[in-house]
Amino acid sequence: MALPPEPIEEVLPEADGAVLAVVSRIVEQAPQQQYERTLETSAPQKAARQVVELKVTKVLFGEVKSGAVVKAVKPEGAYALREGNQGPFVLGKNEGAVEILGRYGPDTWSEAAVKQAAAALGKR
Amino acid sequence: MPMRIADTRIRNFVDTQKTSPSPKISDANVIDLLAAVGDGSRTSFDKVKSELTKPGITRGQQFELAKAGLSKSEKSDIGQLLDKSGLAMDPGAKNFLEALVGRAPLQESFGPLTITGDQKNGIAGIAKPGEVIEAINLSTAPAGRLHLVDTQVIGTADASGKFLGTLPDVREGDMIRLRTRAADGSTSDWLTIQAKGIETSDTRNAIVNLERMDLVAGQSGVAVTHNTGRPITEPGAQIRFVNARTGEKVDVTANEKGSIPAGLTLPGKAGDEFKVSVSDGKNNLNHASVTGTLKVPGGTTGITGVDLPDPKMHKDESNADGTPKFKTERFVGPLFIDEPTPGDVRQGAIGNCYFPAAMAAVAHTSPQALKDMVKQNQDGTYTVRFYENGNKSRPVEVKVDGDLYVRSFGGPIYGSSLGGTNTKDKMELWFPIIEKAYAQWKGSYDAIGNGGSAGRVMSEVLGRSQSYEWVSAGSEDRLFNRIKSDIAKGIPVAAGTHGSDQASRYTNTGVYANHAYSILGVEEKNGEKFVKLRNPWGQSEYGNDGKNDGFFSLPMKKFTELYSSMYVLN
């Protein structure tokens, strides 16, 4: 459902890190349910879960290193990733795995918004 | 028997200590003894000492360096130091000496986490060498949006396990929660201390964060809940709730996580207000200072004018028994500040993009129609008119009041107005009131919050029949001309993107899958055709015009790639 992005202040406390990164590889792609073409929007539909590799180009906060490749879960939700997608990725942990936070992944918040909110929370 | 120290450096060390005002073999000066033992014919004292103090060296490596040079007479000297010197010794230093003479195994660390002394000059203690010390001030955390695990690193235990660090803004009596983190990421159990030695007395009271608490009226009273991942006060603080209507008071003690006890129920009912105060056991003991007031959603307390039943919240914002998770507030701002425009409209946290997209499209082409469809009544309520199935002969009038569901930290949770303040006395109300009336008509916010058609809404608002065009490659000119013609005639147009199964085509484009947009016109620039659109979020758009206000212009070719349908009226 096309809800607006969550306020970053609600999500950032759950985050362990935030990076600028490029999707370098789709490691796993769960089966995607196909939906019939419809006139309705905000329908209860979901893009399937993916596991991707993120090549980190810049660290906004957290213990990740620039240049590292991070394996991360893109949970079932409102967006999907392709190789080459890039932007700010806010990362958390879910049952031991790194998970991409934010309703629209790298299109959820700008780098400046993430940095500003992280600074306000004392995240480094 | 007196000591008979053979090694000159060890003897000088003892003599120096015995004339010192505070004689002691400490974790710092034991390095001199280790170097004295470790030197020899091939390695000088200075070289060994330099090796022993290299950054990152472990206790085990220090021990091996010393042991490599240990002679029989030096072993005897160390034994005498332990038995006869009478010198005080740090635990780490003593263990080095005992290990050298074979009386005890070398201890690599002196965990678990222990805090030593007071906090006048910072937080000092002992942990395993190399471990990072993380801490959070539980007395100040509830004022922020911090979770219990939002710690700061205050220091690292050195080779002897000692650390000294500081947290900002620590006052006497503050509750500090600490843990260690090893290199492999594993963490210790939490240790909570109360800061002391900073000031002569504890004058900072505990705080309680009212925004995190939710009050829900039920059959047995008013249930108090909150997200226990975030503390609302400091551990052990006493929170007092006083029902402003009955005067009944309830005291509860916060648990070790700074949470209120699970299952807390207060005597009261919907509409009641509770005054909340807190005491840390040293300050505000009589609860004379009140932090604030919490209102139980529902009821009629504080309502100006007629109070009508509100449409139920979306299921995502409702409790299992159907009661709302959020309270309402009466909004009394102007219905229209000026002419309705698309920029007034902002979608809330509900899956009804089709509704604000349609309303913004109507505001663009037919602002007077919006002014005509909603009227403010003398009793503070509003009457909103729709047309069933877009049939002008079948008007439907819906009456609602100005109560809107609000977030705990302010502002409506569902649709709101942009371009100004969203406070309850100033926010322009036409869009949230029409949305509320639409929810009331259709049954609830849940009934309108799981998808729908922008064409249908435009039809129900204007009383015209609806139609649509599928968008596809090759249809650019036809769609361009249709948009141009309709908007020139004052007929609203909207568009929808493809479903979430095609979401990957949207990432990084600034356009989103399964989403509706208002169409505001077309234009030609340098021979290329564009369509002008608006995202009902009031943000997030194609391209970068530096505004991020949701308005953007898209080449027609791109439009046919990213959009699936176009909503029009007949």
Q: In the listed set B194, B227, B242, which residue is the last one of a domain according to the structure?
A: B194
Q: CA-CA distance, A105 to A87, in Å (whole number)?
A: 8
Question: What is the reported pLDDT for B111?
Answer: 64
C-alpha–C-alpha distance, residues B326 and B317, integer Å: 7
Q: Residue B311: helix, strand or coil by DSSP?
A: coil
pLDDT one-digit tens code per residue, B293-314: 888 877 644 456 688 999 999 9
Report yes or no: B180 and B127 within 8 Å, Cβ to Cβ: yes
Q: Nearest residue on chain B to A30, judged by CA atoms?
A: B501
d(CA B235, CA A12): 24
Look at B13-17, B355-359, B407-411, B550-554 and tell me which has the smallest mean pLDDT: B407-411
Structural domain range at position B434: 329-453
Query: How far is C-alpha B521 from the geometric centre of its chain's CA atoms?
Result: 39
Q: Which of B43-47, B407-411, B508-512 has the highest average model confidence (pLDDT)?
A: B508-512
Q: What is the model's pLDDT at position B158?
A: 83
Distance of CA B113 to the CA centre of its chain: 28
Q: In chain B, what residues touch A110 (CB-CB under 8 Å)?
A: 548
Return mean pLDDT, chain A.
94
Residues B335, B284: one domain? Answer: no
- Beta carbons of B533 and B520 less than 8 angstroms apart: yes
SS percent in chain A: helix, strand, coil, step 5:
15, 40, 45
Q: Tell me what percent of the residues of chain B surpass a pLDDT of 70.
A: 97
Distance between CA B87 and CA B83 in Å, rounded? 9
Flag whether residue B470 sits within 8 Å of chain A, measured between CB atoms.
yes
CB-based contact (8 Å) between A81 and chain B?
A: yes
Nearest to B352 among A42, A81, A86 (CB): A42
Element (H, E) at A60: strand A50-61
In a domain, B357, yes or no: yes
- Position B54 scores a pLDDT of 85
CA A71 → CA A26, A77, B453, distances in Å? 10, 18, 38
B residues 415-454 lying closer than 8 A (beta carbon) to A: 449-454
Q: How many CA atoms lie within 13 A of B566 on its CB side?
A: 28
Q: Mutate which of B512, B517, B562 to test chain A, going by most A C-beta atoms within 10 A?
A: B512
- Cβ distance of A107 and B510 shorter than 8 Å: yes
Contact at 8 Å (CB) between A98 and A18?
no
Q: Does residue B119 share a domain with residue B81?
A: no
- What pLDDT is stored for residue A97 in this prediction? 94
Under 8 Å between Cβ of B3 and B70: no
> In chain B, pLDDT over 90 holds for what percent of residues?
65
> B27 lies in a domain?
yes
Answer yes or no: do B512 and A2 touch at CB < 8 A: yes
Does B289 score more than 50 pLDDT? yes
> Does residue B123 fall inside a structural domain?
yes
- Residue of A38, A106, A122 lying closest to B499 (CB–CB): A38
Q: Which of B351, B451, B500 is the closest to A47 by Cβ? A: B500
Residue B459 has what pLDDT? 98
B453, B475, B501 - which closes a domain: B453
Q: What is the pLDDT of residue B301?
A: 43
Round the average pLDDT of chain B to a whole number and report it: 91
**Shared domain check, B229 and B159:** no
Torsion over CA: B438, B440, B442, B446 (sign): positive
Please indicate whether, in this complex, the C-beta atoms of B353 and A2 are within 8 angstroms of each other: yes
Q: Which range, of A74-88, B93-107, B363-377, B505-519, averages the lowest pLDDT?
A: B93-107
Is B389 part of a structural domain of the chain? Answer: yes
| Phi–psi pair at B523, nearest 5 degrees | -155, 160
Q: Does B316 touch chain A (CB under 8 A)?
A: no
Domain parsing of chain A, residue ranges: 8-120
Among residues B148, B165, B194, the one where a domain terminates is B194
Q: How many domains does chain B contain in total?
A: 5
Edge-first strand listing for the sheet containing B221-226: B213-218, B221-226, B265-266
A8-120 classified as CATH 2.10.109.10: no
B508 with A106: Cβ contact below 8 A: yes
> Mind listing the pLDDT tens digit for each residue in B8-55?
999 999 999 988 888 989 888 999 999 999 998 788 999 999 999 887
**Contact status, residue B124 vs residue B117, Cβ threshold 8 Å:** yes
Q: Does B387 touch chain A (CB under 8 A)?
A: no
B147 in A contact zone (CB under 8 Å): yes
pLDDT in tens, B163-205: 999 998 899 999 999 999 888 777 888 888 999 999 999 999 9
Q: How confident is the model at residue A14 (pLDDT cuts 50, 70, 90)?
A: confident
Interface check for A116 against chain B (CB to CB < 8 A): the answer is: no
Q: Which residue has the tokens 């999707």?
A: A23
Q: How would DSSP label each residue in B203-272?
A: -PPP---GGGEEEEEETTEEEEEE-TTS-SS-TT-EEEEEETTT--EEEEE--TTSPPPTT-EES--TT-
Answer whether residue B316 is part of any domain. Answer: no
Considering the domain architecture, whether residues B405 and B350 belong to the same structural domain is answered as yes
Of A4, A13, A44, the CB nearest to B537: A4
pTM above 0.95, yes or no: no
**Mean pLDDT within B353-382:** 96
Q: What is the ipTM of this complex?
A: 0.97
CB B515 within 8 A of CB B497: yes
For the cut 60, the answer to whether the pLDDT of residue B460 exceeds it is yes
Percent of chain A with pLDDT over 90: 85
Query: Does residue B425 share a domain with residue B359?
Result: yes
- Span B438-442, average pLDDT: 97
The CA distance from B268 to B244, in Å, is 10
In a domain, B317, yes or no: no
Q: Which residues pair with B253 in a beta bridge?
A: B238
Whether A73 contacts A97, CB under 8 Å: yes
Tell me which H or E stretch contains B11.
helix B8-18
Q: Say what the pLDDT of residue B269 is.
A: 84
Calculate how close chain B gets to A41, using CA atoms only, in Å.
5
Same domain (yes/no): B190, B217:
no
